Structure 1
Amino acid sequence: MKFSEAWLRTWVDPDLDAAELAHVLTMGGLEVEALSPCAPPFDQVVVGQILTVEKHPQADRLNCLTVDVGTSEPLPIVCGAPNVAVGMKAPCALVGAVLPGDLTIKAAKVRGIESQGMMCSARELGLNEESEGLLALDAQAPVGQSLRVWLDLDDQQFTLKLTPNRADCLSMRGVAREVAALTQCSLTPPIFISREANPEFGTRTVQIDAREGCARYGGRVIHLEQPDQPTPDWMVRRLERAGLRAKALVVDVTNYVMLELGQPLHAFADAALTGNLTVRWAREGESLTVLSGQTLALTADLLVVADEAGPQALAGLMGGQNSAVSAQTQDIFLEAAWFSPGALAGRARRLGLASEAAFRFERGVDASLTQEALERATQLLLDYAGGGQAGPILDLVHPEKLPRRLPVRVRPDRVRRLLGFEVAVDTMRQILTRLGVGLEGNDVGWTATAPTWRVDLEREVDYVEEIARCVGYDQIPMQVPRAPLRAIHLPERERSRQTVAQRLQARGFQEVITYSFVPPEGEQRLAMQPSILNLLNPLSQDLAVMRSTLSVGLMETLVFNLKRKQEQVRIFEWGRCFLPARDTDGLCAQPLRLGGLWYGTRFPEQWGIESESADFFDLKGVVEELLPSGASFVSTQHPALHPGRSAEVWWNGQSIGWLGELHPRLGPSYDLSRMPLLFELEWIPLTRESWPEYGPTPRFQPVRRDLALVVEESIPAMTLWDALRAAAPKNVADILLFDVYQGAGVEEGKKSLAFCVKIQDTERSSTEGELEQICQELIGVAERRFGAVLR
């Protein structure tokens, strides 16, 4: 929501500057995303009136002007704009003026003719990116007045980042209500003068067939004497500073009333409508060409406003071209309706339409606004279109289908308990009253009824939130939490997210957050079992399915960074995946997982170490730090991973994840020069971390024995390693694999695995015979189970 500060101050004018007002709004829950000036700085630019125009004797494209700028004598100015005319009023930069781009205006001679200033276009003043000539000013502009004053160029533009529940603030009146409540200022809305209706002028017959989609429909026929009149400058400025471009008077008035009051309007060319109007659901086979030029095939879930010839508008979304108004349309049928958010939600996005009306209807519009909006628009149209007349207002209402504001019990004690600090009862009452909430009852508890424009106030906690934000989140006192300390003994502790994140961050990984809905193509490439959970109302076709793996989002993040010259990427993400398997409640399984990606070199670029790409074992080392004791790695065949550089992670007899290098065939799909390393682990096993066990400090030096065992190439080293550790006696402190060799001296089809056996007895030193016996026992296990031969 964008609006100008000057427009807001016509409704409510607190004693705060723009920056302070932005802070108050943000602390009140209406985040001010941007605060920017409506015009760049410049000075000494005034309203000038062209008195004479003569061709320059030395240049065909230049004119010699005399310009009245409110001084005793008019100024001679040379100008090349194509639209100069006698009597025209336009901006004139005086000698000494500094324009955007640090352009200083000086007295000069242009091909022999003196020029004492410069006539300006909108582009030269930084008011528009393009312009075809001088900025034409209103005939009422006072000659000699500063242009900044006349056009109110010292205004500020506010941009609010509203949450979806605050649809009431998508209008100037809604924002003004909030400012008045937050600053305790009085609200002074402009006075609307209703025009007397001509009962003989006539109206249209309308019926509502789709009551669940449209519970209120209003409209009136209006005749305009001069519909081609220009939109007044003040309205154009307010529209532009709200992010809308001025088009023609009728369209501009409907947009202005929508921004002012929050009620979208639509104008039909009355002569283009045939017979009665009906608000109904579209029928199969119907189509409509909308104002954007698109021809849409309508489906039965689209709400339309139709005449006897067929659909004339997509209700609440966009009008049709056949009944569109133009600058010459004298008779219009003006519509103001309440369309249900559920009947419109997602339709505009699905059809590829973008409209301010749809944005508001999807979030909820005040159903009581229709008649007021029609009266306000009628007043503006008749004031600026040279007069005319209006028929009576048609107002069809089905109260049972309108949203209801149910009374809610609000208890001051409950408010204090939830907020955690003291708020006076009188303060609570004043806040809720300023917000338009109706209160009945005593100070023990009130029955609160929300105003019609607050569709988000449904529960007691909603009213508690209103009190908190109006007190000011920045005014909430800091309190140190207190909790009793108890000594407890846990055989194992739960590892927190923070602990795991710190370990990854210590290895250079950064946390990312990606969408839970992903492109179907990414799922097909990277998932073990691609998701079949399609979204009914996707944001786009690239975000159409729920993810079954975190890898899709991680890969998209990698590509995004590579396009921005980030050659070393280490990222991780926590997130839920969505599996089609159903649980006992009939819902999709949503396991929480940890995923990670490593792309680039093992170490940052430096002179002392040769640059090497990170490999599978670098990632395996990172993953091992995260796993609970007893986890193991088994070679796997994952469709998205390199078949020889990937593994499955097992713990307690269950598969809890995988890791590996991306399959080379997928590299071209992401335009990669090297393959990234990926891992994904179930979160629950990662929380298990045993307490360290105490053991006596050894009094004797460890003894090392190396065993090089030749086995079949197909036997995984981990399998042999696990067997040796399981068979080792208790005085074997550790067994480590330190070399894998294939080549000269080893038979083809076999490999040599070299293990370091670390023997350390805590009670006495081991004899040579005992050491030899331990080694023979380990060799025997390898021979019997794997056919190993001591090298």
Structure 2
Amino acid sequence: MKFSESWLRTLVDPKLTSEELSHLLTMAGLEVEELDPVAPAFDSVVVAHVLEVVKHPDADRLNVCQVDTGSGTPTTIVCGAPNVAVGLKVPCALPGAQLPGDFTIKIAKVRGIESSGMLCSAKELGIAEEASGLLILPADAPVGQSIRQYLELDDNVFEIKLTPNRADCLSLQGIAREVGAITGAATSLPQVAAVPASIADTRAVVLDAQAACPLYYGRIVKNVDAKAPTPEWMKRRLERSGIRAISALVDITNYVMLELGQPLHAFDNTRLEGAVHARMAKPEEKLLLLNEQTIAVDADVLMIADEAKPLAMAGIMGGEESGITLETTELFLESAFFAPKAIAGRARRYGFASDASHRFERGVDFGGTRAAIERATQLILEICGGQAGPVVEAKAELPARTPVRLRTARAEKVLGLALGAERIAGLFKGLALSFVQQGDDFLVTPPSWRFDMEIEEDLIEEIARLYGYDNIPSPAPRGRMEMMVQPEAQRPAYRVRQMLADRGYQEVVNYAFVEEAWEADFAARTDEADLIRLANPIASQMAVMRSNLFGGLISNLVTNLKRKQSRVRLFEVGRTFHRDAAAHPATGFHQPWKLAGLAFGGALPEGWGAGSRKVDFYDVKGDLEALLAPAALRFEKLAHPALHPGRAARILLDGQEIGCIGELHPEWVQKYDLPQAPVLFELDFSAMKSVRVPAYAEVSKFPQVVRDLAIVVDQNVSLQTLIDGLKGQISGLVQDIQLFDVYVGKGVPENKKSLAFRIVMQDTQRTLQDSEVDAAMQQLVSCFEQAFGAQLRA
């Protein structure tokens, strides 16, 4: 919203400088983006009257002019402007004048003739970027008056960046109302008197779409002079508000829109047939707009039409066939309220925008609709002449003004201020809000020009604005410093991350929005009922929510390989998303935190001290066991869509499944063009944060006894099955059983394998005897034989 400061000060004139007013508006939520003078600094430029123009005797393109500058004696000035002529009123820079660009006017001889000044163009005064000649002033401009005073060049242009909820400030009246409330200065808002009808001509108005257009005023004005010039003061105010002057009738409607905030439209009354209707568009209806664009109107667009044809897109733009021209002598003036929902988005849909749609889609003061048509009529009669008919009103149900309750205690708590009910009442009165005070509470009825007051927080915001955001104290936060108890069985999330970083992994952060193909590849989610689609994805390849973290890690690996990184260790902590309406009825989704990792390339960084070996399942398995130590993990065979069918396992902790580990499936290795299969894992992050509390166990001072045992079992018997079978069956002397060799080949029957174990036995109270050790070993052999059909290897 742009406006002239001098125009604003005719409505409210606080005792503040321009800069102070700018700061105050910004602190009240009306951010001033720019504050610029309308003209640069210059002096000694006056209105001059050209009395005589004679060709220069020694220059074809120069003229010698006699000019009246108000000093009483004509001044000789040599001028090269092509449009200089006798009788014109133009700006004249007197000797000693300082013009923009650090240019000083001096008495000088031009081709032998002394010139005492310079006739100026708008460009030379710095008030226009281009000019083809002298700045021609109106014939009634007073000779000798300072041009700065005559053109009101000691003015500033404010440009305010309004938020969409403050449509009431899209007018000078609305801004003046705000300035008066903020500063306490008296306001002189436009008082519009009804223009009495001097003719009886009317045109009927019918509201066919009452929800979209609940209020419409129309008036016929005859015998107008559309060619009448727009007054300079109106042109000046329009141009400083960013609107180009066109013709008197158009300028008047634009001026009233800026002044009161109510967009108006004028139709050529001689082109209308029958009653005017506010209705929705008909099927396949087309309209030629004022911008010469023909559009096919959608069914949800509100139209203004007569009995035979559409006239305008309501609240957006008029039609070319019913528009006014310089030949118009009879017009039908429209002032209406259109529901914001009926206008919002329609202009953008067709690729254009207008000042009217900008206001209507945010909400226009329906209480001032009648005043706007009266004000426009008044200006038309003053400037263009004519006779006005009576105002025709069509009215339906207007938006309800529902009272909003404000609790003083609540406002004070939110703002951190001790205001009191009396201070709040004063602020509300400054905004012209109607309210009923009930003790310390207020029941506030929003005015017709405010569409943003619906809940208590809206009123609290108004109090904060008027009080001044910069006046609200911002004390330093205070609180008791207290060391919180850290449960010994829980470790913080940062510690888990640090432990992974210590083992050579680097953290990545990926979007939770993923490609649909990833869900099919890594989670086998192809059913539409399983996929969680985004209603409005930020990109086509981010259309669904992830159910695991593998896709992002594989994408990160591909990116690193393209950048010649041969050894990659990555991990990510993030949410995954699953449909689960039964367990989560509020949202319908389960969103657990997961920890996933990937290892690719060499098991160790390249170096001279160790041979090169590719990372494998057991390297990553060892990382996970170290992370969860001293807890013992179980690994069981697993079929997972993302992992190799024979090199994947589920991970169990205390009998509960907490995740999975395995090599990437060969199909996806080929699809994503990877030189080798990375090893992946995914765990419940909550399990990673749990840690076993250390329990004291007596350390034996007696020596260990170590024996080796080799058995032959079926190929399909897993090590974990053997270990589980021994639990509860072996002697208490056995402290540890470790597998140290697996052999298949010569000397071992077909479909059999040889497993070699190292058995550690120890007692805390005494040295073990050979007989005790032999008995314990025999017990182990018996368990292997009876439970698994194992045999001692010869």
TM-score range, shorter chain: 0.5 to 0.7
Alignment partners' CA distance in 2, 1:5 and 1:450:
28
Distance 1:474 1:527, change over 3 A: farther
Match of 1:547 among 529, 537, 545: 537
Confirm or deny that 1:55 pairs with 2:55: yes
Distance 1:111 1:493, change over 3 A: same
What letter corresponds to residue 311 of structure 1 in structure 2?
Answer: P
Counterpart position of 1:43:
43
Alignment partners' CA distance in 2, 1:709 and 1:428:
77
Match of 1:433 among 429, 432, 450: 429
What letter corresponds to residue 334 of structure 1 in structure 2?
Answer: L
Q: Is the 8 A contact 1:709 1:752 kept in 2?
A: no
Alignment partners' CA distance in 2, 1:323 and 1:752:
73
Confirm or deny that 1:205 pairs with 2:108: no
State how many pairs are aligned: 603
Q: CA deviation at 1:204?
A: 1.1
Counterpart position of 1:182:
182
Distance 1:720 1:95, change over 3 A: farther
Counterpart position of 1:298:
297
Q: CA deviation at 1:239?
A: 0.7
Counterpart position of 1:236:
235
Q: After superposition, give the CA deviation of every residue in 1:675-724 in whole Å (9 maximum; x if it has no partner).
A: xxxxxxx99758999xxxxxxxxxxxxxx9955366xxxxx735463256
Match of 2:403 among 382, 404, 407: 407
Show the 5 A alignment for 1:303-314. 303-314=302-313
Q: CA deviation at 1:475?
A: 1.2
Confirm or deny that 1:90 pairs with 2:86: no
Alignment partners' CA distance in 2, 1:191 and 1:300:
39
Q: CA deviation at 1:373?
A: 0.4
What letter corresponds to residue 722 of structure 1 in structure 2?
Answer: V
Show the 5 A alignment for 1:104-503. 104-200=104-200, 202-385=201-384, 387-398=385-396, 400=397, 402-484=398-480, 485=482, 487-490=484-487, 491-493=490-492
Unaligned runs of 5+ in 2: 499-505, 522-533, 579-589, 598-606, 631-673, 679-698, 708-737, 746-794
Distance 1:286 1:67, change over 3 A: same
Counterpart position of 1:615:
563
Q: Is the 8 A contact 2:222 2:330 kept in 1?
A: yes
Q: CA deviation at 1:31?
A: 1.0
Distance 1:782 1:683, change over 3 A: farther
What letter corresponds to residue 63 of structure 1 in structure 2?
Answer: N
Q: After superposition, give the CA deviation of every residue in 1:735-780 in whole Å (9 maximum; x if it has no partner).
A: xxxxxxxxxxxxxx99999xxxxxxxx999xxxx99xxxxx98997
Distance 1:473 1:687, change over 3 A: farther
Show the 5 A alignment for 1:692-711. 707-708=610-611
Q: CA deviation at 1:132?
A: 2.5
Confirm or deny that 1:722 pairs with 2:620: yes
Alignment partners' CA distance in 1, 2:449 and 2:53:
56
Alignment partners' CA distance in 2, 1:452 and 1:354:
25
Distance 1:718 1:76, change over 3 A: farther
- SS at 1:268's partner residue? strand
Please tell me whether Structure 1 or Structure 2 has the larger radius of gyration of its CA atoms: 2
- SS at 1:369's partner residue? helix
Alignment partners' CA distance in 1, 2:164 and 2:236:
27
Distance 1:686 1:618, change over 3 A: farther
Alignment partners' CA distance in 1, 2:391 and 2:408:
44
Q: After superposition, give the CA deviation of every residue in 1:483-533 in whole Å (9 maximum; x if it has no partner).
A: 45362225143569xx9xxxxxxx9x9x9xx9x99xxxx99999999xxxx
Distance 1:112 1:685, change over 3 A: farther
Q: CA deviation at 1:220?
A: 0.5
Distance 1:63 1:445, change over 3 A: same
Q: CA deviation at 1:191?
A: 4.3
Alignment partners' CA distance in 2, 1:142 and 1:228:
25
> Which stretch shifts more, 169-178 or 718-727?
718-727
Counterpart position of 1:606:
none
Alignment partners' CA distance in 1, 2:462 and 2:609:
72
Q: After superposition, give the CA deviation of every residue in 1:558-612 in whole Å (9 maximum; x if it has no partner).
A: xxxxxxxxxxxxxxxxxxx76389xxxxxxx9x9x999x99xxx9xxxxxxxxxx
Q: Is the 8 A contact 2:224 2:330 kept in 1?
A: no
Distance 1:234 1:318, change over 3 A: same
Q: Is the 8 A contact 2:44 2:93 kept in 1?
A: yes
Q: After superposition, give the CA deviation of every residue in 1:20-59 in whole Å (9 maximum; x if it has no partner).
A: 0111111111111111111122222111111111222333
Distance 1:5 1:750, change over 3 A: closer
Counterpart position of 1:534:
none
Counterpart position of 1:11:
11
Show the 5 A alignment for 1:698-777. 707-708=610-611, 717=615, 719=617, 721-722=619-620, 725=623
Distance 1:489 1:545, change over 3 A: closer
Q: Is the 8 A contact 2:6 2:156 kept in 1?
A: yes
Alignment partners' CA distance in 2, 1:312 and 1:524:
49
Q: CA deviation at 1:107?
A: 2.3
Q: After superposition, give the CA deviation of every residue in 1:295-340 in whole Å (9 maximum; x if it has no partner).
A: 1111111111111231111100000111111223121111000001
Q: CA deviation at 1:67?
A: 1.1
Unaligned runs of 5+ in 1: 500-506, 530-543, 553-576, 582-588, 603-612, 629-649, 655-681, 690-703, 711-715, 732-748, 754-761, 771-775, 784-791
- SS at 1:363's partner residue? coil
| TM-score of the pair, normalised by structure 2 | 0.68
Q: CA deviation at 1:620?
A: 6.0
Q: Is the 8 A contact 2:577 2:592 kept in 1?
A: no
What letter corresponds to residue 615 of structure 1 in structure 2?
Answer: R
Alignment partners' CA distance in 2, 1:12 and 1:40:
25
Q: CA deviation at 1:210?
A: 0.9
Q: Is the 8 A contact 1:527 1:548 kept in 2?
A: no
Alignment partners' CA distance in 1, 2:125 and 2:90:
12
Q: CA deviation at 1:278?
A: 1.0
Alignment partners' CA distance in 2, 1:236 and 1:142:
19
Alignment partners' CA distance in 1, 2:616 and 2:61:
86
Alignment partners' CA distance in 1, 2:336 and 2:576:
62
Q: Percent identity?
A: 45
Alignment partners' CA distance in 1, 2:233 and 2:33:
25
Q: CA RMSD in A?
A: 4.6
Distance 1:234 1:523, change over 3 A: farther
Q: CA deviation at 1:242?
A: 0.9
- SS at 1:489's partner residue? coil
Q: Is the 8 A contact 2:45 2:91 kept in 1?
A: yes
What letter corresponds to residue 466 of structure 2 in structure 1?
Answer: C
Alignment partners' CA distance in 1, 2:535 and 2:109:
68
What letter corresponds to residue 536 of structure 2 in structure 1?
Answer: M
Q: CA deviation at 1:126?
A: 1.8
Alignment partners' CA distance in 2, 1:429 and 1:651:
49
- SS at 2:367's partner residue? coil
Alignment partners' CA distance in 2, 1:205 and 1:752:
80
Q: Is the 8 A contact 1:727 1:778 kept in 2?
A: no
